[in-house]
Amino acid sequence: MPLLRPFIAYLYSIPYTFKEMRTRTSLLLACVVLLAFAGCAKRPVQPRFTTESIDSLLRGEGFVCHVEYRFASIRNAAGHPALEAIERANVGYFFDLENFSGSAREAADSSMAHFAREYAMPSDVPDGVAPRGEILWEGELSVESEASVVDSLLCYVITRSSYTGGAHGMYATVCHTYSLTDGFELSLADLFEARQLEILNRAIREKIADEHGATSDEELSALGFFPESIGLTENFLITPEGITFCYNPYEIGCYALGGVEVAFTWEELSGRFAGR
């Protein structure tokens, strides 16, 4: 409340009688209360985290799957609209559910039930029916998350790995960034100007090429990259040191490349944005 401060200075400057002093004191107290309220309103509630651990063994028609969930939950979300909105979004992302409004435990049950239905009839079984009692495949599903606070941002990272048959398993890392002030999820456009995004788009490609010793798209392709797919991604992680862009298998390269991370320090970005 910057307008209150000159007003307080004015109150101190004017001459007053004893009767006027009481009036001035009351006004000063009112100003102090308003300043305190404004400070509280601007300061987002800090989340406190706990881990919901859920382990289960799913059995279905022809399969067994070991499920492990480690969900980073906001313990003090109740009663704080921004934190409640973030927690609700995280539950949906973590358990891969849309428009879900229940608890993490309820979400886990719903997610596992969906998983069991999806894999109950493997496509390689004639007529979709496994011989009674026979296990055609044994799989694993592991989902973990961690959360951190950077200034007024809450950064949430979900790591998912699974094996449901086939030549190899799959894994992915997905990042979400929220404003602790209002609970909204933030995109790159909320954090950077259009000109800065253009610079970042080029910088990502340049850094990947430099780190892998490639000087052309042909060389990137030979390394297993998909040059036409390399560019900005909304899958980013903010840290006190900088920003990291995360690419999962098959997004910008073949499976053998694994997950690709491209990191920039804030110092490095300030130099790029300034044209140095």
**Domain span including residue 200:** 188-273
User: What confidence tier does 31 reach under pLDDT thresholds 50, 70, 90?
Assistant: very low
Are residue 127 and residue 65 in the same domain, yes or no? yes
Share the mean pLDDT of the chain.
84
**pLDDT above 70 coverage of the chain, percent:** 79
Q: How many residues are listed for the chain in this entry?
A: 276
- Domain boundary, last residue among 179, 208, 234: 179
Are residue 109 and residue 124 in the same domain, yes or no? yes
Each as own residue / partner, the long-range contacts of residues 26-31 (CB below 8 Å, 24 or more positions apart, any chain) are 31/4, 31/7
Are residue 37 and residue 74 in the same domain, yes or no? no
pLDDT at 121: 53
Are residue 65 and residue 157 in the same domain, yes or no? yes
Q: Are 189 and 92 in contact (CB under 8 A)?
A: no
- Domain boundary, last residue among 115, 150, 179: 179
DSSP-assigned beta bridge partners for residue 146: 157
pLDDT at 116: 84
Q: Are 143 and 70 in contact (CB under 8 A)?
A: yes
Are residue 151 and residue 230 in the same domain, yes or no? no
Residues in Cβ contact with 194 at an 8 Å cutoff, skipping those fewer than 6 apart: none
**pLDDT above 90 coverage of the chain, percent:** 68
| Lookup result for tokens 């297993």 | 224
Are residue 13 and residue 78 in the same domain, yes or no? no
pLDDT at 177: 98
What's phi and psi for 266, nearest 5 deg?
-65, -35
Q: Measured between alpha carbons, how far is 206 from 87 in angstroms, rounded to an integer?
A: 36
Q: Measured between alpha carbons, how far is 185 from 256 in angstroms, rounded to an integer?
A: 32
pLDDT at 166: 74
Q: What does pTM read for this prediction?
A: 0.79
Are residue 61 and residue 168 in the same domain, yes or no? yes
Phi-psi region of 11 (alpha: psi -120 to 50; beta: other; left: phi over 0): alpha
Cα distances (angstroms) measured from residue 250 to each of 27, 60, 247, 260: 65, 29, 8, 10
Give me the number of domains the chain comprises.
Answer: 3
| pLDDT tens-digit readout, 14-23 | 444 444 444 3
Task: Give 166's Cβ-side CA count (13 Å radius).
Answer: 9
42 alpha carbon, distance to own chain's centre: 22
CATH code: domain of residue 249: 3.90.640.20
Are residue 106 and residue 70 in the same domain, yes or no? yes
Are residue 62 and residue 139 in the same domain, yes or no? yes
Tell whether the model's pLDDT for residue 192 goes beyond 70.
yes
Are residue 149 and residue 220 in the same domain, yes or no? no
